[in-house]
């Protein structure tokens, strides 16, 4: 009876015309007699599925918690954005009309069909929670994977001390910097959030900046909405201003995905409800924000357009906008630039040209030459999944390693460093706290997890 009291119904979402492969557990479209949950749901021992309407019957695909190292140590993406192993002992073509009780911790999808073989329409998929219910004692907060609290405690203490020390002697701000989190089910994002919250308790951040690629961006629109929402809500839960730049995967175009997000869709998905104080033209995906306490104008750029022949880069409109924005920088303010993609092809493995990238750098350099009292502290970006400080221009261009646990060493620009990463060790984590002082060109980058601290 005590176990019964803990059980709560978990809401499922289904799509008509989809079934599960009996060989891989992957989604197969074009089957009018089926409907399937496209998300992965977590089950624990005792979780159960109860059929309410015997007009239907259901089958399951079960996915074990083991991870395939391919997705961490090579340039590869799991097509359903889930790091699990399909359990082929549980066949998605074994149908039930009673209850199914899980005997282990796992993920699952559920597939339904009518007993009379008739086609299933959208209204039936919309009412899946009236056809069957999923009950679980899923805890509200799962906490760290694998009970890693003790592993991270020393790093939390060390990072906290460094942040507080960097801030105590000067009026300064601490920015949490994340990039390329590439959220996947059964990844390590939940561990990352736990560590971030623990550091924030002891050395509070002033703002949060995510440099793009929240997810892999290669699945259906509705499910990717859900994954973006997970990352966004986790960061907003810190109750700090959050600023996003949009990465190439954030357009949901990857691997030829037909369900791409429009620019307007990207604005509402990534920028609405955050980016406090952003100044932009309409719903443009680039904007600026003045951090007055530290005399810094932060310029957040849009560096990818899958509709252009040269996808990586900046529009001509953005170049002109940057020129105008620099004209209005207040006296004594410094400039910090943020983007997902680097501005120059020599620090970008994937292309021989960055559209208008050289123009953007030249605009900033011209600004510095014409305004000796002003300076560009640096240009900070993600995308390369590696650390690098490029110093061959008038200001440093800084690449930050990826928050996703990944360490493939190829496909990197010359001079970039990719660190060894391993789940279950401190190196599974990689994120940075940037401390900027109001009266100095000095910037400290304090690293949590894999990699080293840096300084400009």
- Calculate the dihedral angle through the C-alpha atoms of 268, 270, 271, 275, rounding to the nearest 10 degrees: 160
Q: Which of 230, 307, 315, 300 is nearest to 261 (CA)?
A: 307
Q: Is the dihedral of CA 162, 164, 169, 174 positive or negative?
A: positive
| Helix, coil or strand: residue 331 | coil
387-394 long-range Cβ contacts below 8 angstroms, 24+ apart? 387/416, 387/417, 387/418, 387/419, 387/451, 387/452, 387/454, 388/347, 388/413, 388/415, 388/416, 388/417, 389/454, 389/456, 390/342, 390/344, 390/347, 390/415, 393/344, 393/361, 393/365, 394/364, 394/365, 394/368
Instruction: State the pairing for strand pair 18-20/375-381.
Output: unpaired
Q: What pLDDT is attached to residue 1?
A: 38
Query: 331 near 373, Cβ under 8 Å?
Result: yes
Which tokens sit at 71? 């997705």
Give CA–CA dist 131/168, Å, rounded. 59
Q: Exposed/middle/buried for 25, CB within 10 Å: 0-12, 13-18, 19+?
A: buried
Query: 179 near 210, Cβ under 8 Å?
Result: yes
Give CA–CA dist 148/150, Å, rounded. 6
Q: Which of 188, 136, 111 is nearest to 7 (CA)?
A: 136
Q: What pLDDT is attached to residue 2?
A: 45
Query: 241 near 208, Cβ under 8 Å?
Result: yes
Q: Is the dihedral of CA 276, 278, 282, 287 positive or negative?
A: negative
| DSSP structure string for 247-314 | -GGGGS-GGG-S-PPPHHHHIIIIITT-STT-B-STT-S-EEEEEGGGTEEEEE---B-TTSSS-BB-
Tens digit of pLDDT at every position of the chain (456 positions):
344 446 889 999 999 999 999 999 999 999 999 999 999 999 999 999 999 999 999 999 999 999 999 999 999 999 999 999 999 999 999 999 989 999 999 999 999 999 999 999 999 999 999 999 999 976 554 456 556 788 899 999 999 999 999 988 778 999 999 999 999 999 999 999 999 999 999 999 999 999 999 999 999 999 999 999 999 999 999 999 999 999 999 999 999 999 999 999 999 999 999 999 999 999 999 999 999 999 999 999 999 999 999 999 999 999 999 999 999 999 889 999 999 999 999 999 998 999 999 999 999 999 999 988 889 999 999 999 999 999 999 999 999 999 999 999 999 999 999 999 999 999 999 999 999 998 888 899 999 999 999 999
The pTM of the full predicted model, rounded to 2 decimals, is: 0.95
User: Percentages helix, strand, coil for the chain, rounded to the nearest 5?
Assistant: 25, 25, 45
**Cα separation values, 78 from 27, 213, 215, 217, 257, Å:** 13, 15, 12, 11, 13
Query: 403 near 362, Cβ under 8 Å?
Result: no
- Tally the C-alpha atoms within 13 A of residue 454's C-alpha that lie toward its C-beta: 21
Q: What pLDDT is attached to residue 374?
A: 82
**CA terminus-to-terminus distance, the chain:** 61
Give CA–CA dist 211/381, Å, rounded. 6
Give CA–CA dist 59/148, Å, rounded. 35
């Amino acid at each position: 009876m005590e176990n019964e009291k803990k059980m709560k119904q978990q809401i499922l979402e289904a799509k008509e015309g989809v079934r599960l492969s009996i060989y891989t557990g992957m989604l197969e479209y074009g089957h009018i007699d089926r409907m399937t949950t496209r998300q992965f749901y977590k089950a624990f021992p005792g979780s159960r599925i109860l059929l309410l309407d015997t007009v239907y019957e259901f089958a399951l695909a079960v996915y074990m918690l083991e991870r395939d190292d391919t997705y961490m140590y090579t340039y590869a993406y799991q097509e359903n954005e889930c790091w699990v192993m399909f359990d082929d002992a549980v066949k998605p073509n074994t149908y039930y009309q009673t209850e199914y009780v899980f005997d282990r911790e796992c993920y699952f999808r559920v597939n339904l069909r009518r007993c009379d073989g008739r086609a299933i329409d959208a209204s039936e998929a919309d009412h899946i929670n009236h056809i069957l219910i999923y009950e679980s004692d899923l805890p509200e907060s799962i906490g760290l994977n694998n009970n890693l609290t003790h592993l991270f405690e020393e790093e939390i203490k060390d990072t906290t001390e460094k942040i507080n020390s960097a801030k105590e002697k000067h009026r300064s701000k601490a920015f949490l910097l994340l990039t390329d989190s590439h959220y996947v089910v059964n990844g390590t994002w939940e561990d990352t959030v736990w560590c971030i919250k623990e550091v924030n308790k002891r050395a509070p951040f002033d703002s949060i900046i995510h440099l793009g690629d929240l997810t892999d961006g290669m699945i259906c629109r509705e499910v990717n909405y859900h994954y973006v929402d997970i990352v966004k809500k986790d960061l907003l839960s810190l109750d700090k201003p959050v600023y996003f730049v949009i990465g190439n995967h954030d357009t949901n175009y990857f691997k030829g995905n037909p369900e791409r997000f429009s620019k307007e869709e990207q604005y509402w998905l990534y920028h609405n409800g955050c980016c406090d104080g952003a100044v932009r033209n309409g719903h443009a995906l680039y904007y600026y924000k003045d951090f007055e306490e530290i005399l810094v104008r932060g310029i957040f750029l849009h560096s990818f357009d899958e509709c252009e022949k040269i996808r990586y880069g900046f529009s001509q409109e953005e170049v002109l906008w940057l020129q105008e924005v620099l004209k209005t920088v207040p006296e004594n303010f410094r400039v910090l630039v943020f983007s997902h993609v680097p501005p120059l092809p020599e620090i970008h493995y994937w292309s021989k040209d960055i559209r208008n990238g050289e123009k953007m750098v030249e605009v900033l350099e011209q600004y510095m030459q014409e305004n000796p009292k002003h300076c560009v502290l640096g240009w900070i970006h993600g995308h390369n999944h590696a650390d690098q400080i490029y110093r061959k221009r008038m200001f440093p261009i800084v690449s930050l390693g990826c928050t996703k646990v990944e360490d493939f060493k190829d496909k990197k620009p010359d001079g970039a460093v990719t660190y060894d990463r391993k789940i279950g060790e401190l190196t599974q984590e990689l994120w940075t706290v940037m401390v900027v002082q109001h009266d100095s060109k000095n910037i400290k980058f304090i690293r949590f997890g894999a990699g080293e601290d840096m300084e400009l």
